[in-house]
Structure 1
Amino acid sequence: MIKHIVMWTLKEQAEGRDKAANAAEMKARLLALPAKLPLARELEVAIGEAVFASVPPTDIVLYSTFDSREDLQAYATHPLHLEVVDFIKKVVAERRVVDIEV
């Protein structure tokens, strides 16, 4: 199993919205993916600096699990996921990722 964790810091303003609105939009788009693209076994999204007090400045975190690296790669390169990535790239200032094989 692969645990895939992504942490983002968002731009204060992007795409005509503030950070909070873009975080909510990111969360909605990410949470919609498993229904359309069931490669992720589990997918959770959390928003809010208070939630992440122990990590570097982070506005939104994605936690997901996949059965294999191949499933993660198929998910990462799927056109539906890439549509969400296109939006995320426009609103993100910084991204950190860790994949853990268990």
Structure 2
Amino acid sequence: MIKHLVLWKLKETAEGYDKAENALRIKAELEALRGKIAEIRALEVGLNFNDSAAAYDVALYSEFESREALDIYQKHPEHVRVAALVNQLREERVVADYEV
């Protein structure tokens, strides 16, 4: 089993929306991937409420059966589309993938 974690810090404004609106846009887009990419075994998107300067704004937790399944997910056209949107809205990104 592969666990895939991603955290994003968002720009204060981007594409005509503020940070909170863009966080909701990202959440909706990521959650919509569940029904579109068969390799996703679990997927959660959380919006941060901690006001620490060290905190990130959006968190993605997802699970895949194998590294190959994660690779298929990452190359899927729907994931590529959502990733392109997120890249326009974010300042920073951190990621961790691990096997359990």
Instruction: Give me the TM-score of the superposition, normalised by structure 1.
Output: 0.93
Identity percentage over the alignment? 47
- C-alpha separation between the residues in 2 aligned to 1:92 and 1:24? 13
Offset from partner CA, 1:70-90 (integer Å, 9 cap, x none): 000000011011010110000
| Ranges in structure 2 where 5+ consecutive residues have no aligned partner | none
- Runs of at least 5 residues in structure 1 that lack an aligned partner in the other structure: none
The 4+ residue runs of structure 1 with deviation greater than 2 A are none
Question: What is the CA-CA distance between 1:31 and the residue it aligns to?
Answer: 0.1
Aligned to 2:43: 43
CA RMSD of aligned residues (A): 1.5
Q: Is 1:49–1:58's contact at 8 Å kept on the other side of the alignment?
A: no
Q: Distance in 2 between matches of 1:10 and 1:89?
A: 9
Instruction: Report the Cα distance in structure 1 between the residues aligned to 2:17 and 2:2, rounded to whole angstroms.
Output: 33
Tell me the equivalent position of 2:91: 93
Q: Does 1:10 align with 2:10?
A: yes
Alignment of 1:22-37 (within 5 A): 22-37=22-37
Residue 49 of structure 1: CA displacement? 3.4
Q: Distance in 1 between the 2:34 and 2:48 partners? A: 22
Partners of 2:77 and 2:67 in 1: how far apart?
18
Q: How big is the shift at 1:57?
A: 2.1
